[in-house]
């Protein structure tokens, strides 16, 4: 035994081990108390929800609603889910108002389990929300990523093609069982757990917060900012502090929904589509934004030459948002 004890080092008195245990316990309690202090949350009210919009078909007009669920894959109101329908070419490539500006003139609604489509000089079309399982599934290409979508049939495909006076187009529907795109695959500043559905507004995330310069209004939207105004957005909020204060927000609370700020939004050519005429301008509001909202030079590798207008938020806690809800900035102390 003496040889074994010698190989392990001299025996330590029991009080030494007891003291070590007490020190370890003290350290754990200290860490727990510090973590508790860090988790303390203070809410600062910064706005009120004025309007809510859901955009079932990407690049088409939105639908005004009083209440919407915030799910891991976007807003939902009844049978309408945000950006769950998408126009594609016959070989599966995404079609938006960038390629077909007149898509912004198409009004989409929901009635008795059907999506309704209306556009200038076109007869109203009703499409079942639940696409028949027998319809083929297309392999689609969306912002450089592959994803699937189930074909919605020949009737709506012909309706869209006729209105746009274009090459043959199809409409596809994203089903919850299909694998969503990962936000981190588009820009590494997003978290690996953040997901976007195939019809989300951009290659980034589905919930975007912006501050409207002329009226100091915060807008949660997926849509266009056109010539010093904003098209109907997902959530419109008033009582903001300043034009670009949202850039500094990290955590916000609306209703029972908690959201985490990620990256700013670099605005693209889509913002120059006139929502009233369906005409692509290619200049405004981008030129105006570039005069005062370019990124810091240290972030040019992320945003390049795109002007910044708004910030993307990931959903940490799902729930419901409704018109009249207060909007809070969460401050951790």
**Nearest by Cα to 321 from 10, 7, 49, 104:** 49
Cis amide leading into 285 (omega within 30): yes
- pLDDT level of residue 5 (50, 70, 90 thresholds): very low
Give the lowest-confidence range in 12-21, 53-62, 102-111, 162-171.
12-21
pLDDT of residue 250: 82
Quick: pLDDT tens for 247-257.
777 889 999 99
Check whether 120 has a pLDDT greater than 80.
yes
Check whether 85 has a pLDDT greater than 80.
yes
Q: Going by C-beta distance under 8 Å and a sequence separation of 6 or more, which residues neighbour residue 257?
A: 70, 315, 317, 318, 319, 320, 321
Cα 25 versus chain centre, distance: 43
pTM of the model: 0.76
Share of the chain above pLDDT 90, in %: 39
Can you say whether the dihedral through the CA atoms of 192, 198, 204, 210 is positive or negative? negative
DSSP secondary structure string for all residues of 232-272? --SEEEE--SSTTGGGG--EEEETTEEEEEEEEEEP-GGGG
- pLDDT level of residue 144 (50, 70, 90 thresholds): confident
The CA-to-CA distance between both ends of the chain, in Å, stands at 56
pLDDT of residue 58: 92
């Amino acid at each position: 035994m003496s040889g074994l004890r010698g190989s392990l080092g001299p025996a330590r008195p029991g009080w030494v081990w007891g003291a070590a245990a007490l020190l370890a316990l003290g350290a754990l309690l200290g860490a727990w108390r510090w973590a508790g202090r860090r988790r303390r949350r203070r809410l600062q009210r910064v706005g009120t929800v004025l309007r809510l919009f859901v955009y079932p078909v990407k690049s088409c007009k939105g639908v005004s609603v009083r209440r919407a669920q915030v799910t891991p894959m976007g807003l939902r109101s009844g049978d309408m889910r945000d950006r769950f329908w998408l126009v594609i070419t016959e070989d599966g490539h995404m079609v938006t108002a960038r390629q077909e500006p007149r898509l912004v003139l198409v009004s989409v609604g929901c009635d008795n389990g059907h999506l309704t489509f209306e556009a200038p000089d076109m007869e109203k079309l009703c499409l079942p929300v639940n696409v028949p399982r027998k319809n083929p599934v297309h392999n689609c290409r969306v912002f450089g990523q592959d994803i699937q979508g189930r074909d919605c049939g020949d009737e709506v495909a012909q309706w869209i093609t006729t209105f746009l006076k274009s090459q043959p187009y199809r409409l596809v529907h994203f089903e919850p069982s299909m694998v969503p795109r990962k936000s981190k695959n588009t820009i590494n500043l997003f978290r690996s757990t953040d997901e976007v559905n195939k019809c989300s507004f951009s290659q980034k995330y589905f919930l975007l917060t912006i501050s409207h310069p002329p009226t100091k209004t915060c807008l949660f939207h997926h849509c266009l900012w056109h010539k010093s105004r904003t098209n109907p957005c997902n959530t419109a909020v008033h009582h903001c502090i300043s034009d670009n204060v949202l850039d500094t927000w990290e955590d916000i609370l609306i209703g029972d929904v908690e959201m985490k700020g990620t990256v700013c939004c670099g605005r693209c050519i889509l913002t120059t589509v006139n929502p009233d005429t369906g005409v692509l301008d290619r200049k405004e509001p981008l030129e105006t934004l570039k005069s005062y909202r370019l990124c810091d030079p240290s972030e040019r590798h992320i945003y390049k030459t795109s002007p910044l207008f708004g910030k993307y938020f990931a959903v940490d806690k799902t729930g419901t948002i409704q018109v009249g809800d207060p909007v809070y900035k969460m401050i951790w102390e």
